[in-house]
Chain A
Amino acid sequence: MTLRRLIGYVLGSVRVQVRGKHPERLVNLCVCSGFPIWDIALIDNNLYFSTTLAKYREIRPLARKAMCAPRIVKRIGIPFTIGKVRRRPVFIVVSTILLIVLFWLSGSVWAISVKGNTKVSRGDILQVASDNGLKIGARKSHISTHSLQQAIAIAFPEISWVYVRFQGTLAVIEIVEKVRPDVPGPGDIVAKKDGIVESVLVLSGVPVVQPGETVKKGDLLIAGVTSGGIQGARGSVTAKTWYEVIAEEPLSRLERVRTSRKKEVKVARIGDNEFLLFPLGTMFEWYEIEEYPIKVFGKGDVASAVELFTRVFFEVQWKWTEVSIEEAVARAQARGKRAIEDRLPSTAKLIDFTYETSGDAESVLVRVVASTIEEIGELAPWLGDINGGW
């Protein structure tokens, strides 16, 4: 929209149809008189142009001079719209009333949303909010979000943070509940496995065992104090413990041995699908596979999409081979050590391994024992009313 058209829209403009023998004369007369006219078009021997509403009346004498008959065919702009509206007073009144009612209604709360609650029920929160003025239909201007936040925080000790805000006609109560750390209640410290006590460190409570004593799983190590104020046992008890594994290793084993026979085939892999580029023929009964990539495409999308490689099938035969006792023992010891190391807790400190070997004509048996020093105390909370208070 050009500036002229915009001004014409604001001030009001008319589309004029001119009939006559020489409508060009009227255009020239308008131009000479300084009347703004635009969008001149000749349609079906009728000249059409646009001009401002104010100038149209002054054009009429000029039209008579040019022996033309002007006629308004279209009225455009705000003054005409206002004129139309002014002729409908009921429309104005109803629109105004509707706007006022809409504005008034937008100042009320029409929905309440509670977010973030898991332990505290929504109903309880809404009840407290209602007691403090926040309910459906309440005026937003009459609600103090600050005092409402305080009231909700005081009413529910489980809530650590609360925030009330308005989103249009929706009141949103956002809360964050307290998350308490998982602290066990007071109790005694007992042994979680067998061992010989190495050290006892008591932070609270009464030690029941001394270094050098043998304890079994479940034995009391440090007792909590109940007289003169409840005080659970706290401390650390380390002990020497053992882990045992028996590993068996046969003195003969079945091994695959490659023969001199092999077969090669070229394979193309496109995505998850594989295509053999040449037929494979009869395959060996037992074989091992090795693959060697073939570089054809270099780098790029094609190379990543299509993969070429040589697949070699080596024929194998199964053969029993003798294993020396030393080798079998070494293998069994290594396997036993690995099994123990996998079982060891990260806090355990490994001292040494001991091995006992036995066996027969077919296999050797190795008993691997690992000595460790580790924390064996664990808290056994007291049951009853004492438990869980914090």
Chain B
Amino acid sequence: MRRKFRMELSEILELPMDISLDLPRVVIVGDLGVLISNHRGLMQYSPDRIVVGVGAGQITISGDNLEIEEVGKEQMAVRGIIKFVEMNTA
């Protein structure tokens, strides 16, 4: 109910959904890297699979030679050979 209200409010005020609904924003740069904004932490890390927690679930990045280039409270930058990006909502 609250989420629906927020969605309607952001539509009326023309606000970006990811800010008003506290959603993650994922930017994929070809197969070279992934930039995740508004994450909740690293859940699992191996060179072929990275699982990042987001507000309502998790994002799984599969590939080869995956490395975390930078990680901060808001953003995480992953580089390597990206093959698959999956969003799982709870």
Contact = CB atoms under 8 A, between A and B. Distances in A.
A336 interface: no
B73 A47 contact: no
A28 B73 CA distance: 9
Contact of B71 (A23, A31, A41, A42): A31
A7 B47 CA distance: 27
A103 to B, nearest CB: 44
Given A24-B42, A28-B41, A28-B42, A39 B47 contact: no
B48 to A, nearest CB: 10
Given A40-B68, A41-B67, A24 B73 contact: no
Q: Is the interface of B mostly helix, strand, loop or mixed?
A: strand
A31 B44 contact: no
Nearest to B46: A42
A42 B47 contact: yes
Given A40-B45, A42-B45, A4 B73 contact: no
A37 interface: yes
Interface residues of B, number: 14
A22 to B, nearest CB: 9
Contacts of B41: 27-28, 31-32
A27 B47 CA distance: 15
A34 B73 contact: yes
A39 B45 contact: no
Nearest to A38: B70
Contacts of A24: 42-45
Contacts of B11: none
B73 A31 contact: yes
A278 to B, nearest CB: 66
A329 to B, nearest CB: 99
Interface residues of A, number: 18
B50 to A, nearest CB: 9
Contacts of B47: 41-43
A26 to B, nearest CB: 10
Contact of B69 (A31, A38, A47): A38
Contacts of B44: 24
B42 A27 contact: yes
B30 interface: no
Contacts of A41: 47, 67-68
A4 B70 contact: yes
Interface string B23-39: 00000000000000000
Contacts of B43: 24
A34 B41 CA distance: 13
Nearest to A30: B71
B46 A40 contact: no
Contacts of A27: 41-42, 45, 68, 71
Give the top 4 A-B pairs by smallest Cβ distance, nearest first. Answer: A40-B68, A28-B41, A41-B67, A24-B42
7 contacts: A27-B41, A38-B70, A39-B69, A40-B45, A40-B68, A41-B47, A41-B68
Given A31-B42, A32-B73, A49-B68, 9 more contacts: A4-B70, A24-B44, A27-B68, A31-B73, A37-B71, A38-B69, A41-B47, A42-B46, A47-B45
